[in-house]
Amino acid sequence: MTRQVRTLRLRAPNEQMVHRGAALVEDGLRIATLPDSRRLLLIRSLNLGRIDPRRSSAAVALRIEAELAAHPPVHAVEDAAAQAAIVYFRDEIEPYTLLIERVLRGQPAADWFWLRAVPIWKLLPHTTAAVAPLIQHAAQTHGAAAAVAVLDEIYQRGTLPTLLDALPEDAAAPLLSFFGWRIEEVAEPVAAVEEPSWPVRAWVLRWGISHPLSSWLLAAALAAQSPARISYPVQLMRTVSSTLRRWDDETRGDTLPNDQPTAWPASSSNQTPAGAIPNVRPLDALPNQPTREEIASSAAGHGPFPIWSAGAGVLLLVNILSSLGMAELIEADPELHDFPLHLLAHFAARLELDADDPVQKFTAKAQRAQREEEEKKKIIFSGPLFWPLRPLRLCGESPVSLFDCFEIWEDSVVDWLDRFAEMTLTELIARPGYMRVTKTHVDVFFAHEQADLRIRRAGIDFDPGWTPWLGCVISYFYTADPSTGEG
């Protein structure tokens, strides 16, 4: 959990005791058991009573836990947050989403917790001019994956068009830089050409194919569709260049596809010249905007608690797949970025999980992007790949179907488990637990009783952390009550 304590009110007879009390409180916050490890918890004040400098940090931690239990944190979107002593955001990137939306709506954001959550806010004008710096700061502080998640959340809320209206022309270069992206020139559209899930084509055509904002927006849309792309920026930007080239050719040939996504509403200026950035449009001009109550309801719907899964053990395959060379495979051919999720879906299919199981929803991102025609479902491996157990060589001259490739990987996983953990595949993956899936993290919670010496000895349940080929952070927890989401 991210914990920020900057305004705790401590009273003591002298300065030395004040420093001692502050140190005890800081240590107490570090060791206290606080709810929901992914929340960003902002503490304005805590009534800890009289702090005896001779007490231990553990004693102060118990007092902190009691205070939090007696005074639950208030979500930042609630009206009561302005006067609350403790405020929370769902995660570290939610403040950026909410701040950007408030700026676009012309709503104030002067309450104490905004500055605590996003320190750069004190340096920015509280107007639409703050939009680009907020996106840049999210990318710089939390990484490109977090910034893409912010944009995707704004798109899901229906306010991305107004955000794009607010971007000045000179924002393109800083945005590309902070995201770690560089425009890749391709002589011919040889890289993969893909349609993003966001309807960005209308914006790209208005800005111009060669405008840097077009490259940045399309890259963000493709990365939101498949977060694993973020780990392979060169291939991502080559795909962007190829897609832009194709769109340009289709526009010149007047051959736009019939299934082109519906364009977003045009700017209030009907005379926007080609390549110019449209004028800022008030958010009220967009139809079907969510109300404050709907936003709060949405936040509650994404709530702090994880969801039960009959196949949470499928996520324990991550370290094994890494050992078998998954990272090297995707590094060698980033166009296979969706393959790991397809493979996890293959393992999950053995368990016949319900459609609303968190494992199914997590792997559905790849399933949505899967090609419909069987002849397109070909994986071509270039060069040899060596597994710890036996070498496997698949040549580009003989494309391998997804099904055949799944079987090869499954055999390798079975052999790995037999050799290093002395257990079967079913024993590992048919392991219920709770999962909390966000745009940037996957937390898996198991009960203490499920701890298995074979799994621990083989390093299967060591936290993978940031996993480039999945485009997210994977963490495992063993806890007395997995349903609470407290590690």
Q: Is the whole model's pTM more than 0.85, yes or no?
A: no
pLDDT tier at 368 (50, 70, 90 boundaries)? very low
pLDDT tier at 400 (50, 70, 90 boundaries)? low
On the question of pLDDT at 33 being above 80, the answer is no
On the question of pLDDT at 362 being above 50, the answer is yes
Query: What is the pLDDT, as a whole number, of residue 152?
Result: 94
| H-helix or E-strand spanning residue 342 | helix 339-349
Share of the chain above pLDDT 70, in %: 74
**Three-class SS state of 388:** coil
pLDDT tier at 392 (50, 70, 90 boundaries)? very low
User: What is the rounded CA–CA span in Å between residue 81 and residue 85?
Assistant: 8
The pairing of strands 472-479 and 391-393 is unpaired
**Which residue ranges make up each domain of the chain?**
2-89, 132-283, 303-484
pLDDT tier at 253 (50, 70, 90 boundaries)? low
Token pair belonging to 14: 């002298």
**184 against 170, higher pLDDT:** 170
Query: What is the pLDDT, as a whole number, of residue 458?
Result: 94
- Mean pLDDT over 156-176 rounds to 91
**Three-class SS state of 137:** helix
- Answer yes or no: are the C-beta atoms of 44 and 112 closer than 8 Å: yes
Length of the chain: 487
Query: What is the pLDDT, as a whole number, of residue 375?
Result: 37
**Three-class SS state of 355:** coil
**159 against 268, higher pLDDT:** 159
Question: pLDDT tens across 208-234, in order?
Answer: 988 999 999 999 999 999 899 999 998
Q: Which has the closest alpha carbon to 237: 326, 176, 188?
A: 176
pLDDT tier at 37 (50, 70, 90 boundaries)? low
pLDDT tier at 311 (50, 70, 90 boundaries)? very high
